[in-house]
Amino acid sequence: HESATRSAHLVSQLLTLARAEPGALRLQDCPPVDLLALARQLTAELVPRALRAGLDLGMDEAAQTPVWVAGEALLLREVLSNLIDNALRYAGAGATVTVGVQRSGAQACLSVEDSGPGIAAQDRARVFGRFVRATDAGSGCGLGLAIVKEIVERHGGQVSLEPVLPHGLRVRVLLPLAGNPQPA
């Protein structure tokens, strides 16, 4: 059963990666997405899983107004889902995972911060490669951050990993704000 679940997860990740490949996304054809609403919804959906794993998952509620970005909602959801999934898998029981969305100049900033062990400085750049994992712990296939990077770049954004002191990791995704959003 575990092997079948891992295989299904791998196939799903590969299909998501294919959908995010160059030429597969035309931002001008995408309606604006409220990144804050998307983050709140997905975070709420994943709270039961976090509780079962002994983690505290929540939202940083600093932003109160919509944060609109141009993009494909399902792909942006996949970005956030992969980031939260990584935090839940690797932060460890007792850790805190906080999702945040805010405006930063002409960009939206999405962050997922955890109080887990983090990723060593020498591994931070390479973990965005396909099938690369920074640890032998957990059951990931090494595609999550590669998918995140591909999707974010297709949306005209950037992703970075930052250490959190005294321990932990913050993943920051910067995306261009949508101009004159008209929600669908």
Residues facing residue 102 across a β-bridge? 109
Residue 7 has pLDDT above 80, yes or no: no
Examine residue 181 and state whether it is found in any structural domain, yes or no.
no
Examine residue 21 and state whether it is found in any structural domain, yes or no.
yes
Tell me the pLDDT band of 2, cut-offs 50, 70 and 90.
low
Examine residue 162 and state whether it is found in any structural domain, yes or no.
yes
Residue 75 phi, psi dihedral angles, 5° rounding: -70, -40
**Region 41-53 average pLDDT:** 96
Examine residue 57 and state whether it is found in any structural domain, yes or no.
yes
Tell me the pLDDT band of 83, cut-offs 50, 70 and 90.
very high
The whole-number pLDDT of residue 124 equals 74
Examine residue 183 and state whether it is found in any structural domain, yes or no.
no
Examine residue 44 and state whether it is found in any structural domain, yes or no.
yes
End-to-end CA distance of the chain: 40
Examine residue 33 and state whether it is found in any structural domain, yes or no.
yes
What is the spatial distance between Cα 90 and Cα 93, in angstroms, rounded to a whole number?
9
DSSP calls for 116-162: S----GGGTTGGGSTT--S-SSS---S-HHHHHHHHHHHTT-EEEEE
Examine residue 184 and state whether it is found in any structural domain, yes or no.
no
**Region 174-182 average pLDDT:** 79
Q: Which of 39, 25, 29 lies closest to 67 in space, CA to CA?
A: 39
CA-to-CA dists, residue 79 to 20, 100, 122, angstroms:
11, 14, 23
- Counting the structural domains of the chain, the total is 1
**Region 47-53 average pLDDT:** 96
Residue 62 has pLDDT above 90, yes or no: no
Domain span at 94:
2-176
CATH code where residue 64 lies: 3.30.565.10
Tell me the pLDDT band of 175, cut-offs 50, 70 and 90.
very high
